Amino acid sequence: MNGRHAMPHAAFVLEPEAAVGDMLSQIDTPALLLDLDAFEANIERMATLAGKHGIALRPHAKAHKSVAIARAQLDAGAAGICCQKLSEAYPFAAAGITDILISNEFVGEKKVAMAVDLARRVKLTVCVDSSLQVHALGLAARAANVAMDVLVEIDAGQRRCGVRSEVALLDLLDCIGKYSDVLCFSGVQAFNGTAQHIEAWTERREAALRSAETVARYLRCLKTYGFDCPVVTGGGTGTAEFDVETGVYSEIQPGSYVFNDGHYGRLEWQGNNAPAHSLFVVSTVMSAAAPDQIVTDVGLKGIAVDSGLPIVISQSGTSANLMVRRVNDEHCVIESGPDALPVLDTRVLLVPSHCDPTVNLYRRFIGCRGGVVECLWDIEASGLSR
């Protein structure tokens, strides 16, 4: 053999996982598959729910991190988008999306500079729960001669961020008032993440109503002291159907509804409010050396397991006889029930239990319809967590 380095060769570039027109079996794995029929139905279902109640829909881009999906949401009537991090907002702003809420607190000189930078380009709304933030933002906005809208986050029951009393809210409003030339108080951010994943429908509904009561208490306080509060934003995929009926929210901000991950899929739903699974990780059987298991080529770097192990899906739906036993860094070990195990090089579809951290592991969605690749959508904000 004399050819080890003898052949001429083209540029040393990785091809994308798939090309438009590819069949499922041609996709290089692991890859992130978006079932476009289910995705579009999810987009439509949530837009209809919000529209029917006259409530704005501001979908959360932290779930998908993709300009193409944000555009699909805006085309379906969304009022704007949420981002959870300032850096995450950059690709959306660069792509011309003009109304962005950073639904989360941030502090420090570099973060404030990013907010000012964004506020030059888009209608930016930010969240605060501390006067230190307000002072830093106000001074920087003045120095740069830019304006931004400000929401005060209130703790709606999650016990994470947000003010915990009416006094704290009013103190913050005083502080914001000192920068009224550049900071415009526009309302409250009131998301309760804990309520989203309560399994039983009635208990989830009760938690959503309790959050709404908390929000209403703060709103009464604002009214008493003469503050306008045009924006009351909150709610998520698990509680949206209840949130829209409470009368307290001006807009809802669900994110996962476009995908419906395994964790949301385990909840009890009523009527047609359950979103459909649209997000799958495609993996390939890479080893079948043992008689009682297969190993596919996706691990912790391609699928998040913080909310449980992935579910194996066969062509005809959930495959109860194929169970994921463990996920290592680069391997997914699947054990078999009575069914025969798929052979080497078979594609195995997995429903990730948690969409947000799974999507963040990839650079593009492979959009499929009827088993054929229809589009590749960049995940521009992948890895942007600052």
Using CB under 8 A, which residues numbered 265 to 284 contact its own copies? Answer: 284
The CB-side HSE value for 306 (13 A sphere, CA atoms) comes to 7
Q: What is the nearest approach in angstroms of its own copies to the Cβ of residue 48?
A: 26
Site string for its own copies, 162-201 (x = CB under 8 A): xxx---x------------xx----------x--------
Give backbone dihedrals phi and psi of 159, rounded to 5 degrees, phi first: 55, 55
d(CA 310, CA 105): 31
Instruction: Name the one residue in this structure whose structure tokens are 């495959």.
Output: 319
Using CB under 8 A, which residues numbered 214 to 233 contact its own copies? Answer: none
Shorter beta-carbon distance to its own copies: residue 219 or 361: 361
User: Smallest Cα–Cα separation from 332: which of 320, 345, 313, 348?
Assistant: 348
Query: Considering only residues 67, 68, 70, 90, which one is a binding residue for its own copies as defined by CB under 8 A?
Result: 90
- Please identify, among the stretches 236-244, 291-299, 315-323, 367-375, the one whose residues bind its own copies according to the rule CB under 8 A: 291-299
Q: Is residue 286 within the footprint of its own copies (CB under 8 A)?
A: yes
Helix axes 166-177, 201-224, angle to 10 degrees: 50
* DSSP structure class, residue 11: -
Using CB under 8 A, which residues numbered 118 to 147 contact its own copies? Answer: 119-121, 123, 129-130, 132-133, 144-147
- Please identify, among the stretches 84-92, 200-208, 211-219, 220-228, the one whose residues bind its own copies according to the rule CB under 8 A: 84-92
Using CB under 8 A, which residues numbered 299 to 328 contact its own copies? Answer: 299-302, 304-306, 327-328
d(CA 149, CA 154): 16
Query: Considering only residues 69, 322, 361, 366, which one is a binding residue for its own copies as defined by CB under 8 A?
Result: 361
Q: What is the nearest approach in angstroms of its own copies to the Cβ of residue 374?
A: 19
> Before 275, cis peptide (omega within 30)?
no
The CB-side HSE value for 48 (13 A sphere, CA atoms) comes to 9
Beta strands in 110-181 (DSSP E): 123-128, 148-153
The CB-side HSE value for 142 (13 A sphere, CA atoms) comes to 11
- Please identify, among the stretches 199-207, 237-245, 351-359, 369-377, the one whose residues bind its own copies according to the rule CB under 8 A: 351-359
Q: Is residue 110 within the footprint of its own copies (CB under 8 A)?
A: yes
Shorter beta-carbon distance to its own copies: residue 144 or 216: 144
